[in-house]
Structure 1
């Protein structure tokens, strides 16, 4: 009984600490998580690195320049491609950089996703 009470107190402290951290504590807010429609079977068959990337991108924990500055690993949060006045956030890297758009980098990424889907569909046939 004492061990269970201590464990509950430690769990409660852990959740309180997570809620206080803006990025890492987002998992405590389940509003956005309910909109995802991945099944357990899909998750089970994913590569571990893909799962890691999905989770880290959803919670903005990828090493963008803005995050590296926040983590004390870098001093300049601007995008090295477009030298934008704002910060190089995960959203900027994945979909908003005008230079990456003009160079066709998003089109390449989109085409790679379509190639993967085509390969999966042809294998399933």
Structure 2
């Protein structure tokens, strides 16, 4: 993770981001109010509690941008399909003077993930610009952010 992201994460957990409330506490500002709703602007308020930001769709916009980036990374990974390589066992005679390779049982092939070894997986994201959702999801009341599905697994 990039150093700035780690710094943001740590400072947000300990409420050390430069919100107006913190800037007042540190003596750098006189007014702790939110410019949108005029409530006290804390880190929590900025990230998820401002009613005006909520009504303007700012939280939805931020959520969709993060979701869009995740969907893009997952979709790009789909093009990097690598079937699992078979394992080989080296057999040796009892005296050790003769060696040969043999293919191991296909059941023992080590997979790195659930979708490793399949190339038919599909990605669906709950974004306005994505109109392709799996039928199994459309028939429910559930709204998962991202669905990764492979008919073969």
Give the shorter-chain TM-score range.
Answer: 0.5 to 0.7
For 2:45, the equivalent position in structure 1 comes to: 92
- The structure with the largest strand share of the pair is 2
For 2:24, the equivalent position in structure 1 comes to: 69
Deviation at 1:123, TM superposition (A): 2.5
Deviation at 1:117, TM superposition (A): 0.7
| Deviation string, structure 1 residues 79-118 (Cα, Å, up to 9, x no partner) | 111012xx20000000000000011000000001101111
Task: Give the alignment's TM-score, normalised by structure 2.
Answer: 0.49
CA RMSD of aligned residues (A): 0.9
Deviation at 1:47, TM superposition (A): 1.9
1:49 is the counterpart of 2:4? yes
For 1:80, the equivalent position in structure 2 comes to: 35
Point out 4+ residue stretches in structure 1 off by more than 3 angstroms: none
Select the structure with the greater relative contact order (CA < 8 A; seq sep ≥ 6).
2
Unaligned runs of 5+ in 2: 79-153
For 1:110, the equivalent position in structure 2 comes to: 63
Q: Which has the larger radius of gyration?
A: 2
Deviation at 1:124, TM superposition (A): 2.2
1:119 is the counterpart of 2:68? no
- The structure with the largest helix share of the pair is 1
1:116 and 1:47 mapped to 2: Cα distance?
Answer: 16
Secondary structure of 1:81's match? coil
Query: Aligned pairs, how many?
Result: 78
Task: Give the alignment's TM-score, normalised by structure 1.
Answer: 0.60
